[in-house]
Structure 1
């Protein structure tokens, strides 16, 4: 992010209201992308993502940490438990539960136990789960394969909502 860029603080109340008013249109748009698989999307998403991060300040939001749980991979469990000076089993017992349906290790509590609620910063940022490090997955090599993720995340993440709005605004360029 350049020094001249000042991302805006996120107003969660305004975000929720905006999501509620636009959710049906945005979900239909994402379904259209999934079904029609436009060619220019992968070239467009990196520049749109850059614009999003110039406009959204995650540290004023942290809604993902407040309302969602990452999934913890085995590598995450080893790295984080070692960082905390605990065994993997002790870490799991203290902080996680096993979701039998999805077969994932997830946080027991929400907001995330590692979120500092005053600063909206992660206390284990250096070793955070890969799921957190990649969130909100705005620009992937095959963007069309992440539309189902965006459908889920637009209700939690202002950056995702902004990205989908930008894709929709540019839809004339990608649906040729």
Structure 2
């Protein structure tokens, strides 16, 4: 995975993709979900996230209380100590990581806490969620982070 090339491509297509994704809000919600879900399956048959891990290298998931409790227990820490060591509140009052890349990302792009990872990581990149029309702005942001999301949107532009 050439992340430099991806960044150049996603930046060059950013304006077009933002406009396109905004236009999808007017589409039939079920058809929109079906199109995204079908392309999600198709693209992720071709993409190996372990060759990339750009999401883990550049962004932070939101950590909910359940995520904090689960990870703290796994790491044999108190939730407060986990927060103190790894997290801070962002401008929207959500807990996010203090640093990027993620401190749990290993050199081989695997996750050292994979079975205990936050829900946001489990669901990323969110292109198989219901009610895609409600998260098109998030999908746009993810075109700048995830090569698979960029590919899904490019295929959407060709066939939806």
The one-character-per-residue Cα deviations of 1:57-102 (angstroms, maximum 9, x if unpaired) are: 1101110011101110000011000000000001111111122x21
> Would you say how many aligned residue pairs link Structure 1 and Structure 2?
159
RMSD: 1.1
1:159 maps onto 2:148 in alignment = yes
Larger RCO: Structure 1 or Structure 2 (Cα < 8 Å, ≥ 6 residues apart)? 2
User: 1:67 corresponds to which residue?
Assistant: 58
Please point out which of 26, 33, 37 is paired with 2:27: 37
| Bigger strand share | 1
Which structure features the higher share of helix residues? Answer: 2
- Structure 2 residue matching 1:97: 3-state secondary structure: strand
Where does residue 17 of structure 1 map in the other structure? 8
The alpha-carbon deviation at position 43 of structure 1 amounts to 2.1
Listed as ranges, the gaps of 5+ residues in structure 2 are: none
4+ aligned runs moved over 2 Å, structure 1? none
Q: 1:30 Cα shift?
A: 0.3
1:103 alignment partner in structure 2: 93
Instruction: Pick the aligned partner of 2:126 from 111, 121, 137.
Output: 137
Which of structures 1 and 2 has the bigger CA Rg? 1
Q: Deviations over 1:116-153 (max 9, x none)?
A: 1x200110000000011100001111121121111111
Q: 1:50 offset after TM fit, Å? A: 1.0
- TM-score by structure 1 length? 0.86
Report the TM-score when normalising by structure 2: 0.95
